[in-house]
Structure 1
Amino acid sequence: MGRVKTIARRSFLIGSAAILGGVAFGVYLYKRPVENPLLADLAEGEASLTEYVRITPEGVTLITPRADKGQGAYHVQAALIAEELDIDLDQVTVDPGPPSAAYYNTALSGEAPGFMVTDDSFGANAMRTVMDAAMKIMGVQITGGSTTVADGWDKLRVAGAVARETLKAAAAAQTGVSVADMTTDRGAVVLPDGARLEYTALAEAAADIDPVTEVTLKEPGDWRYIGKDMMRLDVLAKSTGTQSYGIDFEMDGMVHATVVTNPRKGGEMLSFDASEADAMRGVQAVVPITNGVGVIADNTWRAFEAARMVSFDWGPAPYPAEQADHWAALEAAFNDDQLDSQYRDEGDVEAALAGGATVEAEYRAPYLAHAPLEPINATALITDTRADIWTGTQVPRFAQEAVAEITGLPVEDVHIHVLMMGGSFGHRLELDVVKQAAEVGMAIKGTPVKLTYSREEDTAHDYLRQIAMARVKGTVSGGQVQSLDLGISMPSVISSQMGRLGQSVPGPDASIVQGAWDQPYGVPNYRVSGYRAEPLAPISSWRSVGASSNGFFHESALDELIHAAGADPMEERLRLMWDDNSRATLEAVAEMSGWDGPQMGQGRGRGVAFCLSFGVPCAEVVEVTNTDRGIRIDKVYAAANVGRIVDPINFEHHVSGAVIWALGHAISAEITHSDGMTDQLNYDGFEAMRNYQAPQIEVRGLELGDAVRGIGEPPVPPAAAALANAIFAATGQRIREMPMRNHIGFV
């Protein structure tokens, strides 16, 4: 029998809360039902049976509040609801819904600070519950951390089931037929005689009854969607060029704008002269905004051209002006005063290292830009009584609050319309374009204005992936790794990012050691220390955040120690690994690749790397050939365990895309600074992997354990290390710094 879930009237409370006796936030606040935001705008004859389902006589709309930036989030969320609602995906419309506390993200509590994701102890679970309560009470609606499926796995299936059972109850009230004698099928309640009552015809009756409070979820054997190959809801539109993104949004009477702000991020604008720009064709106004100007014209190109003609006197950067000084700040942070965390300290590392380290090395990872393909944009219409913003954003409630502050309007009069995004990788967690659109909109109240960044403006002002440095010492004995002492220095991503959202996060920043301290290896003497460097260039979440660099550091260092021990890279990792699901993942990639050692002969080599991040064990093997023109990446094998795979095709594409993303950046990409300004301003200076460089990729998804996880980020951290380890196997050269092309050639 399927699990029974309980739902309060028009609200969700999945499971029960054990919040340390209710001391942290109060059990009442946690259990209190959330308001259904859809009820406020219902017309006669329409029903919102849960926060996620709206039914009208014209059709069924599924609310998919996790933002879609190309990862198929709308599709996966809709599939989870439709699975239990018993409706075909081609019968529904998807809508991200309004910003609302009802759409708080449960899964953000999964990686509780100081507890491994594999830790199922009372203390770990209590901390996760406290964090979950905080997310609900604060109404944190956010897309990130590979949490869309993890957050929606229960919520959305229950939403579909509640709507289904409530519609059956409405049909029973109309027909007198017992609910027990009814079934549902493809958007209709089916009576015993075969008669079909379409959901749309039942909307009005369903709106007048209480939602059914106890529902039984389907058994896996009855699933129509989950675990089955599906055509994503956006595939047809994207394949035919008809998908609409924020950049495509149009309104009658709309004008266009761009911005120019201090190229030294966060620096002031001391003065500007727009006389030449004002005289150009199509230019309507040049208005001051925070640290820069907005240029308003009758089309985007003219706004761009006019922006080039504005002259400025810029203030200095609020961080070191030269790139060398950024690295120097990381080096200086390796001291006790800047120790931020030491979650992992097992055995006696000092005693193990007393006789000298077998391996001692330093690793580096540069700043990286997000560089989404769709130019950053937002459209604003501001009046004295209302503000509307149309944009792609991962944080709609934060955007709503920011616009309210700028316009002076009440939050309830600010309307954020979330649009499909053409990429993000964490970029749309930031609000600069929303704030600037609101500032420009305030200057021309009553006129809609679309604000678009030039590529150069975007790259120059991107909040980057953190710069990071690691220092490792370790010893081996008897063909085995005996000690590993890893210190990681980077600025705080959380402090930088959350500070811009007006939030203060006390305590250590777990992202500094994310993907390193919590690895399931049983090294006898094992320490991972995080050092918080001084704030440098402003930084933000970039696909897999701290693990993006720490996976490279940790798995490269471990590989060096394994080589020094004379052991096989795969066999020694398996020997050290104590988590069953992680071991199975590593065994899967060994079997996929036919692993029989790192050397493959004739200038060929392969490397393996593993990283547990975002709750997902992921292992990869990269095969390379050392040609007379440089390193060629031949093939990548990737295995990951997410508990449940909703759409196998989308899963495979996620993993493949993450591998390409990670390898391309590892090979070629970096952001550096001169005179406080970004040196690389477009794709010619910040290269992605080329088609001819792309390897064959073989993917295997595992469904082990009870926890359901996401896959958007976990394949990124192991890729660079697996590549570096493969290069060593093929050439004998250790690459300890990215981008790797600074040290070896690639074809």
Structure 2
Amino acid sequence: MANIARIARRTFLIGAGAVAAGMAVGTYLYKREPVNPLLKDLPDGAATLNPYVRIDARGITLITPRADLGQGAYSVQAALIAEELDVAWGQFEVEPGPPSAAYYNGTVMAEAFPIAATSDTFMARSGRSAAGPLGKLLGVQVTGGSSTVPDAFDRLRVAGAVARQMLLAAAAQQTGVPVAELKTADGHVITPDGKRLPYTALAAAAGKLTPPTDVSLKPASQWKLLGKPMQRLDILAKSTGTAMYGIDLRMPGMVYATVRTNPRRGGGVKGFDARKAEAAKGVLKVVPITEGVGVIADNTWRAFQAANLLEIQWGAAPYPLTTDAMFQQAADSFTDERRDSRQKDEGDVESVLKAAQANQVLQAEYRVPYLAHAPLEPMNAVVLLKDGRLDIWTGTQIPRFVVAGAAAVSGLAEENIHLHVQIMGGSFGRRLEEDYVRQAVELAKAHPGVPIKMTWSREEDMTHDFPRPLAIARARGIAAKGQVQAYDLSIAAQSVNTSQLGRQNLPTPGPDMAIVAGAWDQPFAIPHYRVTGYRVPEMVQVSSWRSVGASGNGFLHECFLDELILEAGADPLAERLRLCSHEPSKRVLQAVGEMAGWGTPLPKGRGRGLAFTLSFGVPVAEVVEVTATAKGIRIDKVFVVAEVGQVLDPVNLEAQLTGGVIWGLGHAMTGELTYADGAPQQTNFDAYQSPRLYQTPQILTKALQTTGRIKGIGEPGVPPAAPALANAIFAATGQRIRELPLRKHVEFV
């Protein structure tokens, strides 16, 4: 509680300072609008009306600064601007824009605060209100935490409305017609007599005007794009194979490169012999780099082949060498010294458990493994260092950090580094790191003057991930008289924040809420309810993975809750509804029960499993139906309900929920990254498999829109999938599985 109070007080002061203009330097910085980055290098004849809109004679360009990893981020951002700018769908181009503090993300900051999404106290509201100012003060430009839509919803609509008003004002100056008598449609200002003035002809004059500070936004009833099914802007290119990813780039005079670095991160290089590689066909240069060696050649395949000829003596891993030893370190972390947080502590758990007889206390231990991000497109970057200027073409979720890292490696000032962000073939959080870009810059320093395309092999990509942490949960509880009465959950895991932010030399004060995310903040009014997080010492370097801590904690929390409910002799849905203290979450549970026909009889050998997780402010409930066949478990159907506040694109929302379910189920079935002698054992997709098409169930989704609070949906569909599947397997077979992946105990067909 003291920790929450300290954070709330700080955040309240930030909010108060923002109101009391001129009282402090921080207030001044917060109130000052960032410089429009589009003004720099603005082409002749082009005008920028704000950081999100650029218009020239050729057409309209909308800036969509949140990265597109395949989740449709460019399309939804463009729709938010276009709706208020009054341009037709596809009547514009999109660009990610340059790295800039103007594109700060305030919403993503709130996820690190120990504030439950269901809390509406003064402290909670103050803490949330501080996220925007804090993100703005720090200039945090990040794509992650399912924050793109909630962070952009107001800001991008306002940007579109401001630009529209400026174009109207320019048209009024040109025609003498008052603004109130002008209309807009499809990229034109329309006069009362029907004359249509294209935005492209008005932009230069509009760009000289002072932007308005007060604009009105369309009510949802007048939306033409938002809330309607949209064809994503990239769907044609991706469907025809013409989309250009970073890995597809070609430039005149380009050379090609790859790297080999120590699979035991942090182990360093004792020495290497490059003679065979240097003699290989097409090799231009072999370059020592941090933690390894790079090869530059005349094509990627020859670079790969030569890299395999390098004879390198790797240093030892600075962490436990095997998966068993790593789990043992986690098991040893359930101590007072390693306790990181206890934000959920209701009733008197300790007294109730001590007073109970041994046979009244249900106990269990659950485990989840390390997991790789394993995006389809391996890490890559194109770099060109020439005449004191460094250009970088790559996909990233953290553009400003990439520039800062490149500056540190190259020695150049940041203003001489130009980042060109590319679309990405997946990420799942992997491109929240910039290690691969630093490597490419090291190669550019050794071979300047020509573009270098550095591509990791699949094996390099798999063995040099920053995986999701493994975790152990120890749970105790009491269920009696048909009800869950006590629930004590302790989770030991590494700190994602300490590992990830530490690589950026950023401080990580306070507890890491990712250790207990998706567990401590669940909306259940269990009389005696406690969730404690324990911080495992640093081992393998870890990072954010789709849905971060909630990805594993959904399994840890929901499976044991299911055990307790069944121990009480209660129905899993009815008891969750009885315990649920949050009306939106209760509606989600009710809706998924209705969709799935919960309670209706199933034939012998079939089972339904229910799980619920509130993550990133989004309550999601899932029901999985399975059949126990003679050959193994078949997943038949999945029903998913989420409360998102407002649906901006029903087609993409369904895709994100469906993709989250497949991601969650696939990793629950087979996913794990194991270690031997300090190195990952899964080095390619043959050993790190996804579900096959024949294993993919029918997935039915539904979105509720009852709260009015806009939320993101890229991650919340993931956490309930694994526990719903495990609970379904128990319902069908009576086998309670307490570790992932499930294939250790059952076969899937």
Normalised by the length of structure 2, the TM-score is 0.96
Q: Contact 2:486–2:527 (CA<8 Å) still a contact in 1?
A: yes
1:653 paired residue among 652, 655, 667: 655
Q: Does 1:75 align with 2:75?
A: yes
Q: Does 1:230 align with 2:230?
A: yes
Q: Contact 1:18–1:129 (CA<8 Å) still a contact in 2?
A: no
Structure 1 equivalent of residue 244 of structure 2:
244
- The equivalences for 1:156-555 within 5 A come to 156-354=156-354, 355=356, 356=358, 357-555=360-558
Q: CA-to-partner distance for each residue in 1:587-625, whole Å, 9 max, x for gaps?
A: 11011111116x622200001000000000000000000
SS at match of 2:602: strand
SS at match of 1:141: coil
Give distance in 2, aligned partners of 1:723 and 1:390: 41
SS at match of 1:89: coil
2:16 paired residue among 15, 18, 36: 18
Give distance in 2, aligned partners of 1:497 and 1:316: 22
Q: Contact 1:19–1:129 (CA<8 Å) still a contact in 2?
A: no
CA shift, 1:129, in A, is 2.9
> What one-letter code is carried by the residue in structure 1 that aligns with 2:507?
S
Q: Does 1:569 align with 2:572?
A: yes
Q: Contact 2:66–2:148 (CA<8 Å) still a contact in 1?
A: yes
Q: Contact 2:112–2:513 (CA<8 Å) still a contact in 1?
A: no
Structure 1 equivalent of residue 9 of structure 2:
none
> What one-letter code is carried by the residue in structure 2 that aligns with 1:389?
I
1:705 paired residue among 702, 707, 731: 707
> What one-letter code is carried by the residue in structure 1 that aligns with 2:460?
E
Give distance in 1, aligned partners of 2:738 and 2:250: 48
CA shift, 1:669, in A, is 1.1
> What one-letter code is carried by the residue in structure 1 that aligns with 2:16?
A
Q: Contact 1:426–1:540 (CA<8 Å) still a contact in 2?
A: yes
CA shift, 1:25, in A, is 7.3
| C-alpha distance 414-20 of structure 1, shift in aligned 2 (>3 A) | closer
Structure 1 unaligned residues grouped into runs of 5+:
1-15
CA shift, 1:263, in A, is 1.3
| C-alpha distance 111-646 of structure 1, shift in aligned 2 (>3 A) | same
Structure 2 equivalent of residue 126 of structure 1:
126
SS at match of 1:173: helix
SS at match of 1:503: coil
- The equivalences for 1:577-726 within 5 A come to 577-596=580-599, 600-726=602-728
Give distance in 1, aligned partners of 2:25 and 2:663: 40
CA RMSD across the alignment: 1.3
Q: CA-to-partner distance for each residue in 1:279-325, whole Å, 9 max, x for gaps?
A: 11100011000010110000000000000000011110111111111
Give distance in 1, aligned partners of 2:129 and 2:649: 29
Give distance in 1, aligned partners of 2:90 and 2:290: 45
Q: Contact 1:455–1:681 (CA<8 Å) still a contact in 2?
A: yes
Q: Contact 2:64–2:97 (CA<8 Å) still a contact in 1?
A: yes
Give distance in 2, aligned partners of 1:644 and 1:304: 48
| C-alpha distance 361-312 of structure 1, shift in aligned 2 (>3 A) | same
| C-alpha distance 521-657 of structure 1, shift in aligned 2 (>3 A) | same
Give distance in 2, aligned partners of 1:163 and 1:46: 14
Structure 1 equivalent of residue 738 of structure 2:
736
Which has the larger displacement, 699-708 or 162-171? 699-708
Q: Contact 1:19–1:130 (CA<8 Å) still a contact in 2?
A: no
Q: CA-to-partner distance for each residue in 1:222-273, whole Å, 9 max, x for gaps?
A: 0011110011000100111100100011111000000000111121111000
Q: Does 1:87 align with 2:87?
A: yes
Give distance in 2, aligned partners of 1:287 and 1:577: 59
Give distance in 2, aligned partners of 1:212 and 1:493: 42
Which has the larger displacement, 698-707 or 437-446? 698-707
| C-alpha distance 112-468 of structure 1, shift in aligned 2 (>3 A) | closer
> What one-letter code is carried by the residue in structure 2 that aligns with 1:648?
P
| C-alpha distance 20-577 of structure 1, shift in aligned 2 (>3 A) | farther
> What one-letter code is carried by the residue in structure 1 that aligns with 2:645?
G
> What one-letter code is carried by the residue in structure 1 that aligns with 2:412?
L
> What one-letter code is carried by the residue in structure 2 that aligns with 1:205?
A
Once superposed, which parts of structure 1, at least 4 consecutive aligned residues long, lie more than 4 Å away? Answer: 19-25
* Aligned sequence identity (%): 57
Q: Contact 1:45–1:203 (CA<8 Å) still a contact in 2?
A: no
Q: Contact 2:189–2:199 (CA<8 Å) still a contact in 1?
A: yes
SS at match of 2:38: helix
Q: Contact 2:348–2:528 (CA<8 Å) still a contact in 1?
A: yes
Give distance in 1, aligned partners of 2:121 and 2:84: 32
Q: CA-to-partner distance for each residue in 1:189-247, whole Å, 9 max, x for gaps?
A: 11111110000010111111111222110011100111100110001001111001000
Give distance in 2, aligned partners of 1:284 and 1:652: 48
> What one-letter code is carried by the residue in structure 2 that aligns with 1:18?
A
Give distance in 2, aligned partners of 1:697 and 1:24: 53
> What one-letter code is carried by the residue in structure 1 that aligns with 2:247?
I
Q: Contact 1:381–1:447 (CA<8 Å) still a contact in 2?
A: yes
Q: Contact 2:227–2:647 (CA<8 Å) still a contact in 1?
A: yes
SS at match of 1:167: helix
Q: Contact 1:112–1:128 (CA<8 Å) still a contact in 2?
A: no
- May I ask how many residue pairs the two structures share in their alignment? 731
Structure 2 equivalent of residue 5 of structure 1:
none
Q: Contact 1:44–1:204 (CA<8 Å) still a contact in 2?
A: no
Give distance in 2, aligned partners of 1:622 and 1:380: 46
Q: CA-to-partner distance for each residue in 1:685-726, whole Å, 9 max, x for gaps?
A: 101111110000000011121321100000100000000000
SS at match of 1:228: coil
